[in-house]
Amino acid sequence: MAVVSTSLGGAAATQLSTHFSGLRKSFLRLESSNYTSSESLLLNVDSHLRLASLYKACRGVVMMAGSGKFFVGGNWKCNGTKESISKLVSDINSAKLESDVDVIVAPPFVYIDQVKNSLSDRVEIAAQNCWTGKGGAFTGEISAEQIYDLGCSWVVLGHSERRHIIGEDNEFIGKKAAYALSQTLGVIACIGELLEEREAGKTFDVCYQQLKAFADAVPGWDKIVIAYEPVWAIGTGKVATPDQAQEVHVAVRDWLSKNVSAEVASKTRIIYGGSVNGSNCGELAKQEDIDGFLVGGASLKGPEFATIVNSVTSKKVTA
C-alpha cells in the first residue's frame, strides 16, 4: 500500500526544497550539477529512505481503491423549462451508455414528474434537496416521503450552494441525510473546501468535519455516495488536477477506514465534482479512488453527459 504524506519535518526536510500546493506541503530533492549520475542516483535512494523513515511520524493517508460500481450523477440545479428538459431527456434516452455505471439525474423539483414519465428506466432520478423530517408546516420545503412518492431513489445533500448560499450547516445537513435514509432514499453526500480554505492548507480538516457530521447522524453507509466537490472548481471552469482530486479521495477513504470501518471505506463510492466535462473526465476517471462524477453544467448537454458516463472505459483501461 502506498502512503501519501501530508506533513514532514526533521533533518531530512532541511535537504528538500518546499512547494505549497494549497493542500499540503510537497518536497522536491535539489540536485547539484556537481554530482555524477551514480551519485545522484544514490542521493535519490537515500532521500526516499529518509522520507520512508519519517512516515511513522507524519500525517499520512493510505491508498485504498473503492470496490463499488462507477457512479455518475447529473445535477441540473435551477435550470431548464418543460421544453428544454424534454429535449435533454430525449438526448439521454438516445445515447448509448455503458452498462456497468449507475446513472442518476437530479432535475429541478417541479420537473421531476415530467422526467420520471419520459426518461428511460436505465437512469435513476434524484431530488436536489429534502427536509430534515416528515412533511408539515414547512413552507417551501420538500419531504423525503414526497420525493419517494414521485419515484426518486436518491437525494443530493450538502451541496456547496446549499451550504454557502442558503446557509445550511454541517449538523443540519446530517439530520437531512439521516431522515432521507430512513425513508429508503440513497444520499449523495457532498463535501468540499472553499478556495481560501485550500490556500490555508485546511482542505483535509474541512472535509473531515463535513464527513463527521454525516457519520454522527446516519445509521449506516450502504446507500451513501460521497461527492467531493472543491467549491473553487464548481461552475468556475477550474477543475482540480487528477492528482489533486485523487489525493483528497484517498484522504476521505482513509478517514472512513479510521472513523467508521475498513469495510465502509472500501465499499463507499467517492465521486468527484467541479467543472467535470467531456474533455477532462477520462483523465480523472483513471485515478484509483475516483469512483465516478457529480456533474453540473455538462449534464445539461445530453451527448456530453453520455461521454462522462462512458468515461468508465478509462477506468477499465487503467485497471
Residue pointed to by grid coordinates 446549499: 162
Taking a C-beta distance cutoff of 8 angstroms, is the pair 289, 78 a contact?
Answer: no
By C-alpha distance, which of 68, 76, 84 is closest to 104? 76
> Which residue out of 161, 193, 197, 229 is catalytically annotated?
229
| SS3 state at 74 | strand
Largest CA distance in the chain: 77
Rounded Cα gap, residues 80 and 106, in angstroms: 12
Alpha helices in the chain, H assignment, sequence order: 11-14, 37-54, 82-94, 112-118, 144-149, 160-161, 170-182, 195-199, 203-217, 242-259, 262-267, 281-285, 302-309, 312-318
159 is catalytic: yes
| Bridge partners, 228 (sequence order) | 191, 272
Which residues participate in catalysis according to the annotation?
Answer: 159, 229
